[in-house]
Amino acid sequence: MVGVQSDWRRDLKWTVRLNLGRDDADGHFARLGCELQWRQGDHLATAWSSVQRQPRRRQWIDNFVGDGIGGVDYVFARLDQRTWDLTWRSSVLFDRNSSLELYLQPFLTVGDYADARAWRAPTATSSAPTRPTASR
């Protein structure tokens, strides 16, 4: 992870973070987090953030009748997923024993599947291209 931020002592602070990595199915992800924090006073603070892109090499789609374990084929495909979210957090401190925090996270996510394959078991290491026709 790499990040840059402005002076944390200021009332208005920004942060930008880039996180790159691999998941357990040998896929990769890239997360770009942008955060803006505004401290309106000693008792009120607000923060907003972030965006991410996560291509997954093996994402489960559905199970179909087939030759796998118990007559089931597990269908996985490549998924290129993009998520935009606006995380909003606001905290109000009334006194040392009471505070209120509001947290909202509306988001939009879209993705494209490609290269669907049937796996004989959910943890198998080899697969075959598939065109599933029968449902569970």
Confidence grade of residue 136 (pLDDT, cut at 50, 70, 90): very low
Asked if 12 and 37 touch (Cβ cutoff 8 Å), the reply is yes
> What residue spans define the domains of the chain?
2-129
Cα separations (Å) of 57 from 3, 27, 44, 83, 103?
26, 5, 43, 17, 32
| Run of H or E residues at 128 | strand 128-129
- Choose between 124 and 89: higher pLDDT: 89
Rg (the chain; Cα; Å): 22
> Is the pLDDT score of 129 beyond 70?
no
Which residue type is seen at 36?
L
Reference 65, options 125, 118, 123; nearest CA is 118
- Report the residue count for the chain: 136
User: What is the rounded distance in angstroms from the CA atom of residue 114 to the CA atom of residue 130?
Assistant: 11
pTM comes to: 0.54
Phi, psi torsion values for 70, nearest 5 degrees: 65, 25
- Residue-wise pLDDT for 30-61, tens only, equals 777 788 888 888 777 787 777 677 777 778 88
Q: Which of 133, 1, 134, 132 is nearest to 60 (CA)?
A: 132
Residues 74-119 pLDDT 10s: 888 888 888 888 888 888 889 889 999 988 888 888 888 888 888 7
Which tokens belong to 58? Answer: 């093996």
Question: How many Cβ atoms from other residues are within 10 Å of residue 79's Cβ?
Answer: 19
